[in-house]
Amino acid sequence: MADLKQLKMDFLEYLEIEKNRSPKTIENYNHYLTRFLGFAQVSSPQQLTEELIRKFRLHLNRLTDHRGKVMKRVTQNYHVIALRAFLKYLSKREIKAISPERIELGKQEDRHIDFLENNELERILKSPQSQGLVDLRDKAILETLFSTGLRVSELCSLDKERIDLDRGELSVSGKGSKIRLVFLSADAREAIKTYIKKRSDVDASLFIRIPKNEAFEKYENLRLTPRSIQRIIRKHTIRAGIVGKKVTPHTLRHSMATDLLRNGADIRSVQSLLGHSSVTTTQIYTHVTDSQLKEVHKKYHKKKSPAHAG
């Protein structure tokens, strides 16, 4: 019988080959399971008990970093999700161990969602104003992020030839290599067309860094990185005068989802557009739309009851 360390390696290879999980997911699962096995100090699956897992969860809940901050509940749950997936794999191989159904996720605190209000969105989308290549590119980036709700990694991976500007749509490979269709607004299509027309390079990437004096021939790879996109968003956040909010590429993704739900889109459609594997993930946005309902009620519901006849 293989020991737990070997079984963990078998499990990670199973994720890579049979489940086609991304390298980042495998890296994270490895990290969480290594931490668990380091704490557990057991070698066989039969030694995994509910009590041992309870003690591990208690350990995570009391763990602090170098600044004295405790681990977020969502991160604690990531460890539990990895452990349950590992136990499910053992069960599939008919290796006796505790059933994954015996382990429940802890209740998570509500996630805080940062999104832009309509006036803030208008200001940031209008921030790149010049007809220079840098501003044209930035305009296309901002419009594309808000129109499609792409993750920053998905945005960076786009190539020019993959975008159908006539139909206003493109296929993206998201988490777990799942392909989904996203759509470009008229403003996003126009911004991309104008930006591409201005370019003189031959790089296949849609969004590229612009060298000084546009000396493209000196560089082999011009594709923007997620860090570069974050810096671009930060620059236009400052230009737009948006204060008190940390605006990131993900903020525009949140803004797109919130905008759709506020305007009547159903949650399953938003789930598909965002590429969420579970509708539970998409439900984080309902807190935002719930607060809007309160304002609607306050504005339109009668504040005074009709006077009773005397």
**Tens-place pLDDT, residues 53-92:** 999 999 988 988 888 888 888 888 899 899 999 999 999 9
Instruction: Provide the pLDDT for residue 259.
Output: 87
- Catalytic site residue 262? no
Cα 12–chain centre separation:
23
- Catalytic site residue 250? yes
| Element holding 279 (H helix, E strand) | helix 279-282
- Catalytic site residue 253? yes
Backbone angles phi, psi at 171, to 5 degrees: -100, 135
C-alpha closest to that of 4 among 52, 51, 70, 55: 52
Q: Which residues pair with 172 in a beta bridge?
A: 180
Exactly one of 160, 175, 209, 239 is catalytic; name it: 175
144-187 pLDDT tens trace: 999 999 999 999 999 999 898 999 988 888 776 678 889 999 99
- Catalytic site residue 162? no
* CA separation for the pair 230, 137 (Å, rounded): 14
DSSP 137: H
- Which domains are seen in the chain, by residue range? 4-102 (1.10.150.130), 118-296 (1.10.443.10)
Query: In degrees, to the nearest 5, what angle opens at C-alpha 269 toward C-alphas 268 and 270?
Result: 90
Q: Which residues pair with 182 in a beta bridge?
A: 170
Question: pLDDT 10s digit of each residue in the chain, 310 long?
Answer: 578 899 999 999 999 998 888 888 899 999 999 999 999 998 888 888 889 999 999 998 898 888 888 888 888 889 989 999 999 999 999 888 888 888 877 665 556 678 888 899 999 999 999 999 999 999 999 999 999 999 999 999 999 998 989 999 888 887 766 788 899 999 999 999 999 999 999 999 999 999 888 888 878 889 999 999 999 999 999 999 998 888 999 999 889 988 888 888 888 888 888 888 777 777 777 766 665 656 665 667 655 544 544 4
Enumerate residues 6+ apart whose C-beta is below 8 A from 196: 160, 206
Exactly one of 57, 137, 151, 236 is catalytic; name it: 151
Q: Which residues pair with 64 in a beta bridge?
A: 70
Exactly one of 21, 84, 139, 250 is catalytic; name it: 250
Does residue 152 contact residue 250 with C-beta atoms inside 8 Å? yes
Backbone angles phi, psi at 21, to 5 degrees: -75, 155
Alpha helix (H) ranges present in 72-225?
Answer: 73-92, 118-125, 133-148, 152-156, 186-198
Does residue 229 contact residue 152 with C-beta atoms inside 8 Å? yes
Enumerate residues 6+ apart whose C-beta is below 8 A from 204: 159, 160, 161
Instruction: Provide the pLDDT for residue 310.
Output: 45
Please report, for residues 25, 200, 236, 301, the alpha-carbon distance to residue 93 in angstroms, rounded to integers and kept in the order given: 22, 56, 53, 59
Instruction: Report residue 238 as tokens.
Output: 């400052």
- Catalytic site residue 285? yes
Exactly one of 8, 84, 236, 253 is catalytic; name it: 253
Q: 3-class SS at 159?
A: strand
- Catalytic site residue 73? no
